[in-house]
With several copies, the nearest count.
Chain A
Amino acid sequence: MIEITSKTIRTSELIDYVKESGAGAINVFIGTTRNQTAGKKVIKLDFEAYEPMAVKELQKIADRAVEQWDILSYAIVHRVGIVEIGEEAVVIAVSTPHRKDAFQACEFIIDELKKTVPIWKREVFEDGDVWVAAHP
C-alpha cells in the first residue's frame, strides 16, 4: 500500500495492514515532526508533493525492495500539508518472515524516499520559514 495523504496517519492501521500469518517480523519507521532543527525552534512543518509522480517513485522504491528482500507486505504513507510537532510525517511498515529483512527493507525505503521522491518540506519558524535542502 502506497499513499500520499493530508490526513493524520494512523500507524496502527498500517501495522494491521502488513500483518500476515507467515510474518515473523514487522519493522515500522515513523518520521515525526521535531520541535527544533539545528537548535532553532520549529513551529510546524508543511509538506508539498508532486503527488502522481511521488506515488510512482514510491512504487519504484517498493518494487526494488521486494526484489531484494523477502517481503510479505508493506505500507508506505506520506503526509502532505501542515504537520504539527510530534505528528507523523511518514510511516513505513514492512512485514517479513525474518527480522533482518524487515530492518533492511524498511531502512532502504526511507533512505531512498528521501533521495528521489518529489516531496518538499517547509519548516515554519517563529520568524519565517525555509524549504529544507534547498540551500547549499
Chain B
Amino acid sequence: MEISVLAFGIARDIIKARSVVLEVTDGESVAGVVARLKQQYDGLEKLPSVLLAVNEEYVEDSYVVSQGDELAIIPPVSGG
C-alpha cells in the first residue's frame, strides 16, 4: 500500500518536501519505515534521533502501519 509521511523541521529540509509517499508492505513496522527513510534520504541518519508519529501520537517501534494512518517524521524537538 502507499502511505504518505509528513515531514517537519530539518526533516522537511532533508526530504525537500512537506510530505512524501512511501510504498509500505503489509505488516511493516514503524521501525522498518524509519530504517527505509534513512536509507532513502541522506542526512536523516545523521540526526540525533528520528521518530515516527502515527495519528498524532508517539508509538512503539513495533507498531504495524496500516492503510489510513497519518505518519509523521519527528526530528529532535526544540520548542520552548
Give A contacts to B, CB under 8 Å.
31, 47-50, 52-54, 56, 78, 89-90, 110, 113-122, 131-136
Contact = CB atoms under 8 A, between A and B. Distances in A.
A120 B80 contact: no
Q: What is the size category of the interface that chain B forms with chain A?
A: 20 to 34
- Residue from B53, B72, B74, B78 having most chain A Cβ neighbours under 10 A: B78
20 contacts: A48-B9, A48-B12, A49-B79, A50-B53, A50-B72, A52-B56, A56-B56, A89-B79, A90-B80, A114-B78, A114-B80, A117-B79, A118-B74, A118-B79, A119-B80, A120-B9, A122-B9, A131-B9, A131-B75, A133-B48
Contacts of A54: 79
A18 to B, nearest CB: 19
Interface of B: 6, 8-10, 12-13, 46-48, 53, 56-58, 72, 74-80
